[in-house]
Amino acid sequence: MRAALVGIDFGTGDFKASLEELALLARSAGAEPITTITAKRNSPDPAHFVGSGKADEIGQACLAERIEIVIFNHALSPAQQRNLEKRLNVRVLDRTSLILDIFAQRAQSHEGKLQVELAQLQHLATRLIRGWTHLERQKGGIGLRGPGETQLETDRRLIGERVKMLRTRLAKLRKQHETQRRSRGRNQTFSVSLVGYTNAGKSTLFNTLTKAGVYVANQLFATLDTTSRRLYLGEETGNVVISDTVGFVRELPHQLVAAFRATLEETIHADLLLHVVDGSSPVRMEQIEQVNEVLREIGADHIPQILVWNKIDAAGLEPGVERDEYDKISRVFISAHSGAGLDLLRDAIVEAARAEPGEAADPAIALADAEHIPNSTHVGPH
């Protein structure tokens, strides 16, 4: 599907990196970005988000390039989306809808599919009016007269009932997860969750550590469902449980944060977070902060965290570790692809498992340490 990407620079954040991410998202959804249209504004236009002049420019590009869909790198209101589709005569998608679509394609487990459907219905409920103005009329005709409801009200009620049912089923699954976690707790099994920006290499690292065979691809949101495996770390430490979770992304739709809370419960109840970072990315610091922001949203910001600086081969770095002012490991430099530094990472997990609760590196200190970008020489213990 031929797509036009639209990004408006409001003077906040890394605009270029955000556009590159939008292109990756579009390709992950199956679209082919043909052209990118940008503009600078102080604030969004209430009617078209981009203003009427820029909307006409997008329309001309759609005709010239035979565009089938226009994807905005922003969240559009239902009215803005409706006005743009009328003006452009093509389908318009915003960032939230695009991410929801990718999630719908990738969900594999029963729980993942339920969570995606819940997020989609919550999003749909806010914009039922778009394209359904004919449903505002009362149902009429012999045998079709309802109890005073318009079709639009009926749709909203049905969506509300479905949302309630999905939440009930997800709550039951959450209780099952809680039972499994209590069982692990009784067995005193140390639990580790891999978190990080999408495409940072979490699933590759997970596979390398556990030989799990989780799907890996150079695309955003390749993994949606949490997978847990045991990892044996020697006689003294024994088994630990490692969980691979969904990747985070900037401006992750709130519906998804809420809907995927059950999946992210593994993160909330972990003893240690391995925050996997793409060490070769020029916007790694922004990505670290985006992940920490979502962790704060789900209540996991208090959990001890070690930054795993991945893809060191692409970044020109050497394997090694860094320690904070309390002599706790704050950063490990590895390559999940080549296996370089994985022995150091295993040692870091063992050290964290042996430590008393709360003695691993503090997330705030880890983030402060991350702002110091090392050179290509070996980074060893202080």
**SS3 sequence, the chain?**
CEEEEEEEECCCCCHHHHHHHHHHHHHHCCCEEEEEEEEECCCCECCCECCHHHHHHHHHHHHHHCCCEEEECCCCCHHHHHHHHHHHCCEEECHHHHHHHHHHHHCCCHHHHHHHHHHHHHHHHCCCCCCCHHHHCECCCCCCCCCCCEHHHHHHHHHHHHHHHHHHHHHHHHHHHHHHHHHHHHCCCEEEEEEEECCCCHHHHHHHHHCCCCCCCCCCCCCCCCEEEEEECCCCCCEEEEEECCCECCCCCHHHHHHCHHHHHHHHCCCEEEEEEECCCCCHHHHHHHHHHHHHHCCCCCCCEEEEEECHHHHCCCCEEEECCCCCEEEEECCCCCCCCHHHHHHHHHHHHHCCCCCCCCHHHHHHHHCCCCCCCCCCCC
Structure tokens at 233: 């770390």
pLDDT in tens, 275-315: 999 999 888 998 899 889 888 887 888 899 999 999 999 88
pLDDT in tens, 164-185: 888 888 888 778 777 766 665 5
pLDDT number for residue 7: 93
Token pair 């290499």: residue: 201
Cα gap 255→264, rounded to integer Å: 14
Cα gap 250→289, rounded to integer Å: 9
User: Which of 43-57, 106-120, 191-205 is least confident?
Assistant: 106-120
Asked whether the predicted pLDDT for residue 375 surpasses 50, the reply is no
Asked whether the predicted pLDDT for residue 73 surpasses 60, the reply is yes
Stretch 20-47: mean pLDDT: 91
Stretch 26-31: mean pLDDT: 88
Residues 6+ apart with CB under 8 A from 35: 4, 5, 61, 65, 67
Stretch 79-108: mean pLDDT: 87
Q: Is 208 helix (H, G, I), strand (E, B) or coil?
A: helix
- Per the model's pLDDT, the better-predicted residue between 236 and 64 turns out to be 64
pLDDT number for residue 145: 46
User: Which of 216-225, 320-329, 340-349 is least confident?
Assistant: 216-225
Cα gap 288→269, rounded to integer Å: 20
Asked whether the predicted pLDDT for residue 371 surpasses 60, the reply is no
- Per the model's pLDDT, the better-predicted residue between 260 and 378 turns out to be 260
User: Which of 21-30, 158-167, 243-252, 345-354 is least confident?
Assistant: 243-252
Cα gap 234→9, rounded to integer Å: 52
Asked whether the predicted pLDDT for residue 346 surpasses 90, the reply is yes
Other beta carbons within 10 Å of 109 = 14
- Phi, psi values for residue 50, rounded to 5°: -105, -10
Stretch 152-156: mean pLDDT: 73
User: Which of 119-123, 168-172, 356-360 is least confident?
Assistant: 356-360
Which DSSP category does 328 fall into? Answer: -
Asked whether the predicted pLDDT for residue 55 surpasses 70, the reply is yes
The CA dihedral of 336, 181, 237, 201, to the nearest 10 degrees, is 10
Cα gap 355→306, rounded to integer Å: 14
Structure tokens at 349: 């997990």
Asked whether the predicted pLDDT for residue 378 surpasses 80, the reply is no
* Percent with pLDDT over 70 in the chain: 76
Cα gap 271→285, rounded to integer Å: 24
* Percent with pLDDT over 90 in the chain: 31
Asked whether the predicted pLDDT for residue 365 surpasses 70, the reply is no
Asked whether the predicted pLDDT for residue 376 surpasses 60, the reply is no
Cα gap 95→256, rounded to integer Å: 13
Structure tokens at 225: 């469902």
pLDDT number for residue 83: 92
> What residue spans of 126-260 are helical by DSSP H?
151-186, 202-210, 254-259
